[in-house]
Structure 1
Amino acid sequence: MNKFMGVLENVLLPIADKLNNNRYLSALRDGFMVALPLIIFGSIFVVIANFPFLDKVISESAYAKYQDALGPASAATLSIMGLFVIVGIGYKLTQYYKVDAIYGGVVALASFLILTPQVVEKVSGVIPTASLGAQGMFLGIFTAFISSELYRLFVQKNWTIKMPPGVPDAVSRSFSALIPITLTLTIFLVVRILFSYTPYDTVQNFIYTIIQQPLTHLGSGLPATIIAVLLIQIFWFFGLHGQIIVNSVFDPIWYALNDDNLKAFQAGTELPHVITKQFIDSFLVGMGGSGMTLAVVFLIFLIGKSRQIKELGKLGGPAGIFNVNEPIIFGLPIIMNPLVLIPWLLAPVVVAIVTYIAMSTGLVPRPAGVIVPWTTPVVLNGFLATGNAWQGGVLQAINFVIVAVIWWPFLKILDKNYYEKEKYESNSKAS
């Protein structure tokens, strides 16, 4: 066990440290965080618009009007979420270089729009909504990185207009950004023109065909998902935030898959994917946090004898209900604790496999593309994530039991060790 842990520490820790401190992955992660409140807002109204059995209670015309009235909530957020992510990435990356960040955000957005097709069914001057959502995400990410780097390069080379003293700060900053923005956007315009002479016609078609489709296909499979889940757990075991590190790489893929399911759900057609962003967030993380430790809290109250374990249960229980599990991770502890390494790695993998089989065989509806707030308690979380399907909540309950069964013998051993130690210390003090 010690040799295995040594190998993991020597190989993975340096990689994780580099990923955690990489400016591009940090900007990507923070860019998604900028968009998250808007995405959740749109998802909430998707759930409300498709409330179960409502179409049986009111007339068909009234139900259609009801959905039309709530439709703009998701259309203005979920359908164009790529725009918010792009602005967030551009802002955060430019901020890293200590350059005026707001211009980094807007130049990233403008660069992306220049590269985006502006024709819908032979009508020019119109941007297809699909290009502004998950389908255009990869192009948006690359564009935000490149445009931010170009913009900050021109600024740091002092290719700017200097205004005389006394000019208001807002005016001075605008003129200072003029040349760097002009040069950056001109470069992207030239790229767009050049691609118009290729078989792909636009950069977006090129990115989607060559990069996004293959990666999305890979990310939608169970093997890649198991690898991602294992990496999250291993990083956490060594005290690194596994979700932040792994999600920085996989989020663009998972969100694209999520968007495909959302469109199918809203259209009333078959959902194409099992693995989506919500597959991870609801049926793994949404059961008490990373590692699904709400089941561990339940076991603590059921079998815990040691004072340390019991107190930890009282502390971690209320937070665990809302998927906050730092008290368990740091208090049990899970970090660098060889006694819990096996259930910590095994439970999420087993649950991922069970969930995938249940959804791929049709026993449980696939994730509907609705982004459920991460603090939503278990069972309700699964119900909402599957488009208000009761089977989603039942599956979460079954997964909860699976995690508890896997953890039971290991927590029993850990609790016994703590109990014996407390008993020994108590007897030592008494004598």
Structure 2
Amino acid sequence: MTKEERTLENSKFMQVLENFLLPIADKLNNNRYLSALRDGFMVALPLIIFGSIFVVIANFPFLDRLLSEDAYAAYQNALGPASASTLSIMGLFVIIGIGYKLTEHYKGEAIYGGVVAIAAFIILTPQVLEGVAGVIPASSLGAEGMFLGIFTAFISAELYRFFVQKDLMIKMPAGVPAAVSKSFSALIPIALTLSVFLFVRIVMSFTPFDTVQNFIYTIIQEPLTQLGSGLPATIIAVLLIQIFWFFGLHGQIIVNSVFDPIWYALNEQNLSAFQNGTELPNIITKQFIDSFLVGMGGSGMTLAVVILIILIGRSRQLKELGKLGGPPGVFNVNEPIIFGLPIIMNPLVLIPWLVAPVVITVITYISMSIGLVPKPAGIIVPWTTPPLLSGFLATGNAWARCRVTSGKLSNSNGNMVAILKDFG
């Protein structure tokens, strides 16, 4: 095949991908619900990071050996409220953020969209703990209630908007202060919206599920979480990130909008196990993606490309690009490389661009499965944290705890069989 024929074939292949994927990516990128979901998690992120920082401090390595058992327990109890009031109830912050952002999209009073979402969620949440009425289990406000919270925020914001658009509002005279006027204007739309959710709660109490949260968790959240915790689904997510980026779309934002609820739920399970000192149940979590894939120089792990350009690159232009992309690449910001190399719409780099992250995903997954390296502990680490440091923090300083004994290695064959079954 001649050079011209290869160029023509590449052009046809690119055209097919562009015609098929770009419309899908554009719809996902501009979807108001996915945008509200993404922004809702961003609202919660500072609080989540705050809680994660204190989880790391509370579980600092070797501290349990330096302090007495009572002193160590007192130390952890003193820092415990930092994570209990943020990470353990992160669902509440996400719900407020989604309701706020979706109502803001409709040009409504965003703050009322946020508060009606949280009130609707609490109406649907079980309020009995071990036979004691009026007590909401903390687990229902965290990962376990995440999917219910997301659906509730979407529906409550839409209902609130619908009633406002129908002009079902109390209009106050012109001389009334703006804050009072807005409060009375929101009264009827909020009352009607919450009445709908109260009716749903009453109806659901006559079903075998008893509550909406049990229904959502059993029918939707649990199966999706099981699916998302597997290696095949993660590989698909990683491939989609790379493909979207190849066409100049922010693949991480698009894919995270869909997968974040699953990854955060898995993250919460690991955090709970980590704090209780039990075996971490999941390998795939939010931090598996952020610290061990994106956290290696950005999407596509391009920090390695920057290093090679600096070490063996001969082109003066590439050398300058390496100097430009190096510092931000250390903090996992790789747009200078993606747009400057370029990687976008460049068929010559398509195969390594797609394959390299998949290889890293598989190697990391297997390494954690056989106990060679620790699993993510559920601690949220900002994705801009430099490599090595991010892994150390994301595993809860667990390198000291991760000792590969002969017994652990002897079980690696069984773990490998489990991994192979996972593909089935």
**TM-score normalised by the chain length of structure 1:** 0.90
Structure 1 residue 390 displacement after superposition: 3.2
For 1:427, the equivalent position in structure 2 comes to none
Given that 2:343 and 2:349 are in contact with CA atoms closer than 8 Å, whether structure 1 keeps it comes out as yes
Residue 149 of structure 1: aligned partner = 158
Contact 2:102/2:154 (8 A) holds in 1: yes
The answer to whether the 8 Å contact 1:383/1:392 transfers is: no
Q: 1:113 aligns with which of 96, 116, 122?
A: 122
User: SS of the counterpart of 1:371?
Assistant: coil
Task: Assess if the C-alpha contact under 8 Å between 1:365 and 1:391 holds in 2.
Answer: no
Matched, 1:13 2:30: no
- 1:287-314 CA deviation, whole Å, 9 max, x = no partner? 1111111111111111111111101111
Contact 2:50 2:82 in 1 (8 A): yes
Q: 1:75 maps to what in 2? A: 84
How many residues are aligned here?
393
Secondary structure in 1 aligned to 2:227?
A: helix
Residues 17-416 of structure 1: matches in 2 within 5 Å? 17-390=26-399
1:141 and 1:48 map into 2 onto residues whose CA distance is 31
1:257/1:68 Cα in 2 relative to 1: closer, same or farther (>3 Å)?
A: same
The answer to whether the 8 Å contact 2:37/2:150 transfers is: yes
Matched AA of 1:82: G
Counterpart Cα distance in 2 of 1:344 and 1:385: 25
CA change 1:21–1:257 in 2 (3 A) is same
Structure 1 residue runs without a partner (length 5+): 394-431
Measure the CA separation in 2 of the matches of 1:295 and 1:33.
29
**1:374 CA drift (Å):** 1.3
Contact kept in structure 1, 2:29 and 2:35, CA below 8 Å: yes
Classify 1:213/1:57 alpha carbon distance in 2 versus 1 (closer, same or farther; 3 Å): same
Flag structure 2 segments of 5+ consecutive residues without an equivalent: 1-9, 403-424
Letter in 1 for 2:274: F
SS of the aligned residue for 1:37 comes to helix
Greater Cα offset, 339-348 or 267-276: 339-348
Deviation at 1:4, TM superposition (A): 2.7
Question: C-alpha distance in 2, partners of 1:3/1:117?
Answer: 56
The CA deviation string for residues 45-97 of structure 1, in whole angstroms up to 9 with x for no partner, is 10110000000111111111110111001001000000000000000000111
SS at match of 1:269: coil
C-alpha separation in 2, matches of 1:351 and 1:392: 23
Distance 1:35 1:313 in 2: 35
What do residues 150-198 of structure 1 show as CA deviations (whole Å, max 9, x unaligned)? 0011001100000011000000000000000000000000100110000
Decide whether the 8 Å contact of 2:242 with 2:300 is kept in 1. Answer: yes
Alpha-carbon offset, residue 239 of structure 1 = 0.2
CA distance in 2, matches of 1:61, 1:386: 25
Out of 340-349 and 106-115, give the one that drifted further. 340-349
Post-superposition Cα deviations, 1:373-392, rounded to whole Å, max 9, x if no partner, equal: 11111011111111113389
Match of 1:409 in 2: none
Query: 1:6, CA displacement in angstroms?
Result: 2.0
Match of 1:141, SS state, is helix
Single out whichever of 214-223 and 373-382 deviates more from structure 2.
373-382
SS, match of residue 285 in structure 1: coil
Rounded to whole Å, the distance in 2 between the matches of 1:352 and 1:391 is 23
Moved more, 289-298 or 24-33: 289-298
Q: Identical aligned pairs, as a percentage? A: 82
Which residue is 2:3 aligned to?
none
Give the deviation of 1:2 after TM superposition. 2.9
Q: Is the 8 A contact 1:364 1:392 kept in 2?
A: no
SS in 1 for 2:293: helix
